[in-house]
Chains A and B, each alone.
Chain A
């Protein structure tokens, strides 16, 4: 009984209640709003939500893991593009080789950037902006600034073949990656160390956490996931695009934040990020059912992110307390 209570407290303390509530709300909205509009919500819509999740979920995990360690890795956007190019160029005969190479390039890019951040104690955003430009430039140079078609179209078709109506090999693979990271973060020292570094870097260093190794590791994993995401995406589209634009990063950051990751670091879990990404995917699928124009999705995502920023803002509580105090004193007077 006390174990259950402890688990519940831990659950609440981790901010997971809000995350689960947000996900549940989104799932209900996904079903109710189209129904009210007289549209049928079918399993194919769940499938398309999971396909969106498959496309951008790994990026959300990459950005989210970085944020837990208080690092914001902008370069995932560039690695997403480069990963797709590498996979398409090298995986013509052996798709698996393309995926492995894309992930490998991601690890190299992450280790280099993580080393610079750790060694020179630099702001992660400025380093990864440099990294983003390098990776994007490489992707454009490899593809001569054009989309590069993937020779073997059947790979994408097989990856996206529906399984049990709602899944596909691609979405199952992404879910499996989330499960692996969820277990790693939950049951190994690694998770604790990442959260510790994100919560207070200096204190972690003094407490004996190998901060530099953790930072380099986080960037390496982030690069790996982004490369993997790019490879899977280009197989699915049967082509690699030289510049994916900014929207994948918006999805990733929004998913991580509504998944309970704090921008200041130290808080968050793989499960939360998965729920955040799934919630956002359901929302986009709902706009698909409603046949909403594209601007609606853009505006709603922006509004959600702004809301997340405001809710997480440290001084919101102060203002709230001040307003309540004013109200009370006005009433007593």
Chain B
């Protein structure tokens, strides 16, 4: 691989940085380079990775971010637990359909009216919190049925959510790379005006991106509900929103759209998880972990930008 090609591959830079962190951790920190710790890192990526894959679709389509995807995850975890009386599979399907509809509706507003995605998603977050508070009366939601505990199980020491994440990444990336609408989504994200001029289905790609995000949030909500066996509004899932955006940015997905992939976002999420784990083992608080993630977000976007301007 030539040097020029290397420069155009920010994912390699990211992979290099991740390897550096892992090697540094293994050499200096007791308990980092153990299989049980690697499994813990993987486990911590599961649900967050799934939400981040959804966030990636929105970013790739040129609609920046959703600032309320985490709220949708919380709401989905509530509906999943509440609808369990219908049976496990119907509850799962209904939850995914509901979350997909919530986000697709936001996509329709953004796509057909050209409304700003940031405002629309903040507004939708407020509405979802209001709706959830009304239906739960602010109380904790408990499962209305059983049979879901396998969703929170481990297979070979690795949580089911990680396997689902792996399947989801492959599906989403293959779909976006090889379907016609997926290609159009990339192109619309890269340059919306040109895409519109070329009669690409820009409206449909935006709705599709939001729908993918919603479906991912639904799956994340199901796994979250199954893992915690209850759901409550406190916090409203803001942390999922911000961590998912951080994974997208650290993964080197271009903020303005068109370049990146779900796999890259998951690499970003893994990198963040590895650093957080390293800091935890070295006895740093969650505050310091959040701070360091913020620093890496800043470093990643600056590095990406310098790289792009050098190539261009």
Does A153 have its Cβ within 8 Å of any Cβ on chain B?
A: no
Would you call B287 and A298 a contact (CB within 8 A)?
no
**What's the least CB distance linking A83 to chain B, in Å?**
16
Would you call B297 and A130 a contact (CB within 8 A)?
yes
Among candidates B113, B125, B126, residue contacting A310 with C-beta atoms closer than 8 Å: B113
Residues of A near B194 (CB, < 8 A) are none
Chain A, interface size: which category?
A: 35 or more
> B237 — nearest CB in chain A belongs to which residue?
A246
Q: Which of B204-249 contact A (CB under 8 A)?
A: 235-236, 238, 242, 245-246, 249
Q: Which of B255-312 contact A (CB under 8 A)?
A: 255-256, 285-295, 297-298, 301-302, 305-306
> A304 — nearest CB in chain B belongs to which residue?
B123
**What's the least CB distance linking A225 to chain B, in Å?**
20
Does A309 have its Cβ within 8 Å of any Cβ on chain B?
A: yes
Does A189 have its Cβ within 8 Å of any Cβ on chain B?
A: no
Give Cα distance in the complex from A123 to B119, angstroms.
16
Residues of A near B246 (CB, < 8 A) are 129-130, 133
Residues of A near B29 (CB, < 8 A) are none
9-residue interface stretch from B129-137, B155-163, B179-187: B129-137
Q: Which of A121-147 contact B (CB under 8 A)?
A: 121-123, 125-127, 129-145
Would you call B126 and A295 a contact (CB within 8 A)?
no
Residues of A near B302 (CB, < 8 A) are 116, 120, 122
Among candidates B126, B129, B291, residue contacting A133 with C-beta atoms closer than 8 Å: B291
Residues of B near A242 (CB, < 8 A) are 287
Residues of B near A309 (CB, < 8 A) are 109, 115-116, 119-120, 123
Give Cα distance in the complex from A249 to B236, angstroms.
14
**What's the least CB distance linking A298 to chain B, in Å?**
4
**What's the least CB distance linking B63 to chain A, in Å?**
12
Q: Which of B104-127 contact A (CB under 8 A)?
A: 109, 112-116, 118-120, 122-127
A302-B134 in contact given A121-B305, A131-B294, A133-B242 (Cβ < 8 Å): no
Would you call B113 and A140 a contact (CB within 8 A)?
no
Contact with B along A273-300 (1 / 0, CB 8 A): 0000000000000000000011111111
Residues of A near B120 (CB, < 8 A) are 306, 309
Does A308 have its Cβ within 8 Å of any Cβ on chain B?
A: yes
Task: Give residues in B with beta carbon < 8 Å to A.
Answer: 64-65, 67, 109, 112-116, 118-120, 122-134, 137-138, 235-236, 238, 242, 245-246, 249, 255-256, 285-295, 297-298, 301-302, 305-306
Can you list 6 A-B contacts with CB-CB less than 8 angstroms, sorted by A residue number? Answer: A129-B246, A130-B246, A136-B290, A137-B291, A293-B137, A294-B133
